[in-house]
Structure 1
Amino acid sequence: MRTRAKICGITRIEDVHAVVNAGADAIGLVFYPPSPRAVHTEQAQALVAVLPPYVQVVGLFVNSSQQEIEQIVARVPLDILQFHGDESPETCQQIGDAVGRRWYKAIQVKPDLDLKTEIERFQHAGASAILLDAWHPDLKGGTGHSFDWQQFPKMNLPLILAGGLNPDNIQQAIQTTQAYAVDVSGGVEAAKGIKDQHLIERFMQGVHCGSAK
């Protein structure tokens, strides 16, 4: 099975084109104002408007209210929600049902976390997948750090690998974890929120090579 790939933190139309041309499966739009990669509704609409079919749009939210997410989903055609804050399984399930979207939860791999139990909590609430990211005491993703890939579990649920991925390590990351999908942001950037077409192309080449082994 080939590994899917999402390029997150897209802010520019030219970066959408670069992602599509490189063969990624999804783009990520960040609806979290403190992030340097955040987009507003009108900007998100313009980005989605140039996407061709079969490339999905993931909306990333951090502790957003149901009302906030409903307002965005009403204006931006998101395919799936990514909860990247401290949301409980019940909150994720409630919001997903309310807006009629599939969802998955990002879990930071803390040293003392019972990872399988935590994954199962969200799986039972209806998560379509789980994203595993590096832990940081202050930042909600986009840290540029990775966790020990040997900790990546085997579960009967699609698992997405994130955290510190880049063109130089993505092939090894896939071969080590056998992740269903990978998620990159800072590892393919020239600056925060500004993607580098060459890095995206190299990253996707690594994804394809890693999947082929």
Structure 2
Amino acid sequence: MSDLYVKVCGITDVEQLEWAIDLGYDAVGLMRAPKSQRLVNVETACRLAEHAAGRIETFAVGLTLDQVEPVRDAVDTVQLYEYADVASLALASDTPPHSTKGLDYWFYDASHGTGTFTEIPDWVRDVDARFVLAGGLNPDNVTEVVTRYQPDGVDVSSGVESSAGVKDYALMKAFIDAVRAV
């Protein structure tokens, strides 16, 4: 399972973006949800997406389409917590999607962006979509979660932060090392 897709969400500056690229992450998330402590403004999101172009996949992450709309053309994928009829959609939820038609990814996230780990239901394996586990993952629990649920990918944010909203290189490295060792 060494080809597991690994995304780090909540990137806020070029240094963190470079860490993700250097460490071998597959994607980064740029937060557009207004209440997130990792929120990046339109200018910063576009600048980060431009810096990442051709080197790592970029996601604009929001609860609704209107939150990501201003940066939608700058990123590769739009990740929302509600369905929208858009190209390159990643739907995040804690319930099975009504339909997986048109989804590039389905993120199981019971934490709704809080970073709190909750037990993952067995039915996640039955969803017919490229499925990524998110919510409360960290270097200490990701191996067990990947082994048990065999997702197509994992997504981390607060689990690789030294303080709220601040990514830590050593934790980012520990996380991806744990994933790649599975």
Q: Deviations over 1:84-132 (max 9, x none)?
A: 2xx2x4xx11xx1xxxx31021112xxxxxx4xx32x1313x2122110
| Aligned twin of 1:147 | 119
Aligned to 1:203: 175
Judging changes above 3 Å, is the alpha-carbon distance between structure 1 residues 191 and 122 closer, same or farther for their aligned structure 2 residues?
farther
What is aligned with 1:112?
Answer: none
- Given the superposition, is the C-alpha separation of residues 160 and 25 from structure 1 closer, same or farther in structure 2, using an over 3 Å criterion? same
**SS of alignment partner, residue 59 of structure 2:** strand
In the superposition, relative to structure 1, how do residues 208 and 64 fare at CA in structure 2: closer, same or farther (>3 Å)?
A: same
Question: How far apart are residue 155 of structure 1 and its match?
Answer: 3.4
CA distance in 2, matches of 1:10, 1:142: 16
Query: Corresponding residue for 2:90?
Result: 104
| Matched-pair identity in % | 28
1 or 2, which has the higher helix percentage?
1
Alignment match, 2:78: 81
Output aligned runs, 1:23-34, within 5 Å: 23-34=24-35
CA RMSD of aligned residues (A): 1.9
Which residue in 2 is equivalent to 1:170? 142
- 2:38 aligned partner: 37
The residue type paired with residue 174 of structure 1 is V
Q: Contact 1:166–1:188 (CA<8 Å) still a contact in 2?
A: yes
Contact 1:12-1:194 within 8 A present in 2 as well: no
TM-score by length of 1: 0.78
In the alignment, the residues of structure 2 paired with residue 73 and residue 155 of structure 1 have an alpha-carbon distance, to the nearest angstrom, of: 26
> Does residue 134 of the first structure (1) align with residue 106 of the second (2)?
no
Q: In 2, Cα distance between the equivalents of 1:196 and 1:69?
A: 25
Stretches of structure 2 lacking an aligned partner (at least 5 in a row): none
